[in-house]
Amino acid sequence: MSQQTDSIRSRIKQLKAPRSDTATGTAVEATVKEILAAVRDEGDAAVRRYSLAFDKIEPDAFEITAAERAEAVAALDPQTRADTEFAIANVRAFAKAQLATILPLEIELRPGLHLGHRVIPIRRVGAYVPGGRYPLLSAPVMTIVPAKVAGCAEVVACLPPNAHPAMIAGCHLSGADRIFRVGGAQAIAAMAFGTATIPAVDKIVGPGNAYVNEAKRQVFGPVGIDQLAGPSEIYVVADETGHPEIIATDLLAQAEHDIHTRVGLITTHRPLAEAVIAEVARQLETLSTAAVAGIAWERQGEVTVVGSEADMIAYSDLIAAEHLQVHTRAPRAFAERLSNYGSLFIGPMASVVYSDKCCGTNHTLPTMGAGRYTGGLWVGSYVKIATHQWLDAAGVAAVGPAAERQSRSEGLEGHRRAAALRMEQPGLFGS
């Protein structure tokens, strides 16, 4: 059997193969290309036109004023504000702790050969804050707060003009320097190219719909991006100690995000697998978001029984789920054996919802298997590790001959001369 199926004893709930969206993807790509070109050429006029076309709103001004920001904050329910500030405090504290691990470096590798790197904040960052069906107040916290901790000089936030006013408050409390009423691909274009109103940024972060994702893909290069985000994912790995109600509840909590959310259970215990399927069906009967979560479970739900713990690890690492919960007898020891995931939730007390909202780790995570090669958004996403070097005569003597020989063997005469000059005429370079 193949690597993908060796470990699988049986799939008792199959992941339905998604319908081919080639035509839809091509249409999105073409539309986004047109939007980007228009915004690059026409600036604010194009942004205004697309806002009217897609959001059915033509704002009087794109930028949200200080008075409007204050009004949005004042309108927040006091408990909502307190909870938002609690989340901000946790995300900020964790980001500061992470930043403390990213240290500058200076080393004399050989006598006279000095190498190092600096940790340099990205100057201007653009945070795309999605509108969504609900006011997701955690979204600006996750993208803006780490940028401010990293030391970015300016953080620009864009959110759809029809976004809930509480989202403006969330951007403000998180520390956004400027906030604009612009959504969709036109927001990505404006931040990438700059307009008369909206400044060009150096890197764009934050999730969005298919048009936002495609726009980020197309502008990448001259401007940086965090990642290309697909639909959300949650998997649980569990042995016979797993609790069906807890697992089903957590799967459905993530499934209510979107009908395309991928949810799954990998277990060594068939009775648990069958109990979770039954429990999901029971909970869907009373879940207010069942219209979304039920479709996600039906189309993208997977329950797989494997033969051993090693098989469970192998299959989980193959999937590389965005969110991975560990419900095993010794979860912390088991977690040490896992390699591929966006973020790990160790033990039944650690729910994805805590990270989604307020515990301090970032909820902007790799999807579609990208956890095999990258982690999620973090304070390190907002800094550059830039190397430097300086040499004295001893350093030139150490590396110059090898550099000259290599240049000669590669046929690069200009390189050879540059290497040789410093050895042959050191007086040209001062003391």
- Identify the CA nearest to 385 among candidates 122, 110, 96, 91: 122
CA torsion sign, 262 to 268 to 272 to 277?
positive
Told to judge if 302 belongs to the known catalytic residues of this protein, a careful annotator would answer no
Catalytic-labelled residue, pool 214, 302, 322, 404: 322
Catalytic-labelled residue, pool 172, 323, 327, 363: 323
Told to judge if 29 belongs to the known catalytic residues of this protein, a careful annotator would answer no
Catalytic residues: 322-323
